[in-house]
Chain A
Amino acid sequence: MKNLTDVEIIESIKKGNTADYSILIDRYKNKSFSMLKRMLKNDFDAEEVLMDCFLKVYNNLSSFKYESKFGTWFYRIVYNTALTKLSSVKRKIENEMSSVDDLLHLKSDYNADVLVNEDISEIIKKVVNQLPPKNAAIITMFYLEEMSTEEISQVLEISVANVKVILYRSRNLLKDIIEKKNLLQGII
């Protein structure tokens, strides 16, 4: 049963087998939760929004026309619902491109003391959790969901070039932090 494709599960749900929806939920819940957690910076909000997304997806399953992968359609709903949540709590939403200043600010947060004393994987986790919503969404989809930049561009409804720019900027931020840490360790 678990080996069924998304399309086969959707067909089964449309025939009235509501219980089969749990297979789809189990397939996508953790990765989408990770994305929401990094976008909303809050576990409770992430769980609440994810539940809302799954209910929204179920209610609109009849409008899914198989023109794109289910994952792409699902993540578009998740991303847009997260943006709505962010705007409803009056948090800052970056527009088409995330500001370079946001990332520079993140880089300066990690001083020599932190860089020398903390494990690099922990630092990276912290930085990823502090990324602006769009960067966080792209990083999660690219690395956790292993989506291509084309698929991500469909989810975010931006160009592939923009997806790459945001991905490279996020990666370069981490690269710079690692370089800085390596340099400091070399000095010590």
Chain B
Amino acid sequence: MKNINDELLNKYLDEELNPEEMDEVKAAIKNSVELKKKYEALLTADNLLKSIGTDIVPSDFSKKIINKIRNKKLLAQQQKYFLFTVLSFFGLLVLGITGYVFYEIISSVQVNESSEVITTYSKTVGDYFSSLFGKKNLSILGSVLSFIMLASGYFLYEYQKHSKKNFSH
């Protein structure tokens, strides 16, 4: 008969041995008091482990996670809307400026002039933009845009901070 060690006893307990080995270990346990005590202790350990029980998480655990997921989704949606609003604002601003420029040009030129009109238009547009982005106006335009950017950045930062605070709660 082979030596019945702890590993073999564990395998016997988990029924992982072949039928002959199972019979061999079974007989050995039956014939040896020491081995029987060992196996009974192992069986007790196994039974105690089976009955060890689960630990319970707080009752609002699932709700907390679902709320976190929902808040995160809401935050992402709000960020998307905010970005869309800011971009739309800048788009409208650029469109407004361009529209105003064209209005100024068209109102300063006679309507019935033909091909010369186009040349005049392009010349006037060129002149207008040259003066608009000239040394004097460029600095004013730059300052205005920087101010708008800074203000938007500040509001975006505050909004993010506020949303993050809400999310963590």
- Chain A residues within CB distance 8 Å of chain B: 18-19, 21-22, 25-26, 29-31, 33-34, 37, 47, 50-51, 54-55, 58, 120-121, 124-125, 128, 139, 143-144, 164, 167-168, 171-172, 174-176, 178-179, 182
Apart from the given pairs A143-B49, A168-B7, A175-B45, 7 other A-B contacts in the complex at a CB distance below 8 Å? A18-B70, A25-B65, A31-B54, A51-B61, A55-B69, A179-B37, A182-B41
- Once A124-B45, A128-B49, A174-B48 are accepted as A-B contacts, the answer to whether A21 and B55 lie under 8 Å apart by CB is no
Q: How far is the CB of B53 from chain A (nearest CB, A)?
A: 8
**CB-nearest residue of chain B to A167:** B10
Closest Cβ of chain A to B92, distance in Å, is: 33
Per-residue CB contact flags for chain B residues 55-77 toward chain A (1 = under 8 Å, else 0) read: 11110011111101110010000
Cβ of B97: which chain A residues have Cβ within 8 Å of it?
none
Closest 8 CB pairs of A and B: A174-B45, A178-B41, A168-B10, A25-B62, A175-B42, A179-B41, A30-B54, A22-B62
Docked Cα-Cα span, A178 to B52, in Å, equals 15
With a CB–CB cut-off of 8 A, which chain A residues contact B52?
124-125, 128, 143-144
Which residue of A is nearest B64, CB measured?
A: A51
Checking B38, B58, B64 against A175 with a beta-carbon cut-off of 8 angstroms, the contacting residue is B38
> Given the complex of chains A and B, what is the CA–CA distance between A31 and B42 in angstroms?
24
Q: Which residues of A contact B48 (CB under 8 A)?
A: 120-121, 124, 174
Q: Is the CB of B66 within 8 A of A18?
A: yes
Which among B10, B65, B70 is the interface contact of A51 at CB below 8 angstroms? B65
Q: Are A143 and B50 in contact (CB under 8 A)?
A: yes
Q: Give A174 to B38 CA distance when docked, in angstroms.
A: 11
How far is B46's CA from A124's CA once the two chains are assembled, in angstroms? 10
B57 with A50: CB separation less than 8 A: yes
Q: Are A25 and B61 in contact (CB under 8 A)?
A: yes
Asked if A171 and B65 make an inter-chain contact with CB atoms under 8 angstroms apart, the answer reads: no
Main secondary structure of the interface of B (DSSP, over half): helix
Our pick among B44, B51, B57, B65 for the contact of A21 (Cβ within 8 Å) is B65
Knowing A30-B56, A31-B54, A51-B64 are in contact, say whether A174-B49 is a contact too (CB < 8 A): yes
Given contacts A51-B64, A175-B41, contact A139 B57 (CB under 8 A): no
CA distance A69 to B56 in the complex (A): 24
- Give A143 to B45 CA distance when docked, in angstroms: 12
A-B contact list, 8 entries, CB within 8 Å: A22-B62, A37-B55, A58-B69, A143-B49, A168-B10, A171-B45, A174-B49, A175-B38
Tell me the complex Cα distance, A175–B64, Å: 41
Q: Which residue of A lies closest to B48 (CB)?
A: A124
Q: CB-CB < 8 A to A50: which residues of B?
A: 57, 61
